[in-house]
Amino acid sequence: MMTRNVLPITLLTLLIAAPATPEILTRGGKLAVDAHADGRLLFDLVGNLWVVPLGGGEAQALDIASGAASRPRWSPDGSRVLYVANTDGRQGLRIHDLGTGEVGRVGSGAYLDLYAAWHPGGERVAFSSDRRESGLDVWEADLPSGLEWRLTNRPGDETEPAWSADGRDLVYVHRDGKSWSLVLREHGQAEEILVTGDERIAGPSWRPDGTLVTFWRETRDGWSLDMVILSEPRLVRQYANGEAFATTPVSWLDKHRMFYAAGGRIRQRLFNSWSSMTVPFRATVEAQPVTTVERVRRTLARIDEPRGTLVIHAARLFDGIVGKYQLDLDIVMDGGRIRSVEPHRDRPGDIVIDMGDLVVMPGIVDVHARLPASANEASGPLLLAAGLTTVVAEHAQAEHLNTVWSGKDVPGPRLLPVADWPVDRYSELADKTTPGLELVLQSRAARLIGVHADVPRRFSETPRIDHGLTDVVLGSHGSGLPAGIGAQAELLALAAAGLKPEQALRAAGVNAAAALGVDPNLGRVATGAAADLVFVEGDPLNSVEDAIAVVAVVRNGRFFSVAGLIDRSADAETVE
Greatest extent of the chain over all pairs of C-alpha atoms, in Å: 87
Count other C-beta atoms under 10 Å from residue 260's C-beta: 28
- Angstrom distance (rounded) from CA 437 to CA 476: 13
Strand order through the sheet with 170-176 = 157-163, 170-176, 179-185, 192-197
pLDDT, position 272: 94
- Angstrom distance (rounded) from CA 100 to CA 91: 24
Q: Please state the rounded mean pLDDT for residues 266-289.
A: 90
pLDDT, position 182: 98
The gap from C-alpha 45 to its chain's centroid, in whole angstroms, comes to 20
pLDDT at 519 over 50: yes
pLDDT, tens only, 312-342: 999 999 999 999 999 999 999 999 999 999 9
pLDDT, tens only, 298-318: 899 999 999 999 999 999 999
In sequence order, the 6+-apart residues with CB closer than 8 A to the CB of 368 are 392, 393, 418, 423, 426, 475, 476, 477
pLDDT band of 456, cuts 50, 70, 90: confident
* Higher pLDDT pick, 451 / 25: 25
pLDDT, tens only, 420-436: 999 989 999 999 999 99
What average pLDDT does the chain have? 91
pLDDT at 287 over 60: yes
**Percent of the chain's residues with pLDDT above 90:** 80
pLDDT at 147 over 90: yes
Tell me which DSSP letter residue 350 carries: S
pLDDT, position 67: 62
- Angstrom distance (rounded) from CA 333 to CA 416: 23
pLDDT band of 7, cuts 50, 70, 90: very low
pLDDT at 389 over 80: yes
Count other C-beta atoms under 10 Å from residue 353's C-beta: 14
pLDDT band of 575, cuts 50, 70, 90: low
Q: Are 373 and 485 in contact (CB under 8 A)?
A: no
Q: Please state the rounded mean pLDDT for residues 203-223.
A: 96
Rg (CA), the chain: 27
pLDDT, position 65: 63
pLDDT, position 5: 35
pLDDT, position 314: 96
pLDDT band of 132, cuts 50, 70, 90: confident
* Higher pLDDT pick, 292 / 370: 370
Q: Is the peptide bond before 249 cis (omega within 30 degrees of 0)?
A: no
Give DSSP secondary structure letters for 245-284: B--SPPEESSSSEEEEEETTEEEEEETT-SS-EEE-EEEE
pLDDT band of 134, cuts 50, 70, 90: confident
pLDDT, position 6: 32
Q: Is the peptide bond before 233 cis (omega within 30 degrees of 0)?
A: yes
Which helix (H) or strand (E) segment holds residue 118: the answer is strand 113-118
Domains in the chain (CATH in brackets) are: 23-285 (2.120.10.30), 309-575 (2.30.40.10)
Q: Are 363 and 555 in contact (CB under 8 A)?
A: yes
Q: Please state the rounded mean pLDDT for residues 343-349.
A: 94
What backbone torsions phi and psi does residue 38 show, to the nearest 5 degrees?
Answer: -80, 5
Q: Are 495 and 504 in contact (CB under 8 A)?
A: yes
pLDDT, position 131: 84
- Angstrom distance (rounded) from CA 527 to CA 339: 5
